[in-house]
Amino acid sequence: MEKNYKKTVYMTTVLGSICLKQDKEYRDFTAKLIPNVDKEKIIGIPVPILRKFAKEFYKDKSVVEEFFSDLPHHYYEENLLHGFLIEQIKDFQSAVEYTEAFLPFVDNWAVCDTFSPKIFQKHPKEVYEYIQKWIKSDKTYTIRYAVGLLLSNYLDEHFQKEMLKLVSEVKSEEYYVNMMLAWYFATALAKQYEATVPLIEAKTLPPFVQNKTIQKARESRRISTETKEYLLKFKL
């Protein structure tokens, strides 16, 4: 009985507020971007609105705790909101624990790529330890999330050459994993060229990842025309 009551409070407080902002045209647009998510599970709420809502909603800690524990969520927007609420957490350990609890339930690239707690940037060494665990997960979007963090937070001052090896060892048949691998290596070519290009020259990456990396690198404005032509030699 108590659980049903809490669910009712959650439904009226969270879902009720979200549904008031529904945009059906935006829902149809979003459904095309994430074809693996049932359209009936998409309400149609723009990300900026959800982010703004998360900041207000986070003030009600009791309802937020109930929302965090209400996994798996039904709607795509609930998952987005979950990630945005984690971003509001100021305590590093709490942010990591809630992220770990949430990752197994992430089921599409948009949710995976949209949330990244800022507190993680203040603890690069500690987060890297978690990344090394997450990247070995059997969950598609946990792996993608780990590689995405390496792409966004570890290709500048926190870069280590061993990270290239860590990512290169990921072997997957999943399209959304391999696309993130390619994005990572293409960005690494732009930011850490001398460390990355030997990996491309060795042709040891899976063919899809190798060729997509080269394609993305050649589309980048941060890579010279001369380098783009050179990379063509290593297509598989």
Domains of the chain, by residue range, sit at: 1-122, 123-236
pLDDT of residue 13: 61
CATH ID of 123-236, from 3.90.1010.10, 1.25.10.90, 3.30.70.2860, 3.40.605.10? 1.25.10.90
Length of the chain as a residue count = 236
45: left (phi over 0), alpha (psi -120 to 50) or beta: beta
pLDDT at 235: 97
Question: CB–CB of 121/82 below 8 Å?
Answer: no
Q: Tens digits of per-residue pLDDT, 60-93? A: 888 888 889 989 999 999 999 999 999 999 999 9
Cβ atoms of 199 and 185 within 8 Å: the answer is yes
Residue with tokens 């524990």: 69
In this predicted structure, the answer to whether residue 2 has a pLDDT above a threshold of 80 is no
Other Cβ atoms less than 10 A from the Cβ of 202: the count is: 11
What was the pLDDT predicted at 154?
A: 98
Separation of alpha carbons 159 and 197, rounded Å: 15
Say which residues have a Cβ less than 8 Å from residue 96's Cβ, sequence separation at least 6.
126, 127, 130
Residues 84-135: pLDDT tens digits? 999 999 999 999 999 999 999 999 999 999 999 999 999 999 999 999 999 9
pTM of the model: 0.91
Q: Are 139 and 104 in contact (CB under 8 A)?
A: yes
Express each pLDDT in 163-212 by its tens digit: 999 999 999 999 999 999 999 999 999 999 999 999 999 999 999 999 99
Do 198 and 164 touch, CB atoms closer than 8 A? no
Q: Which residue has the tokens 């647009």?
A: 29
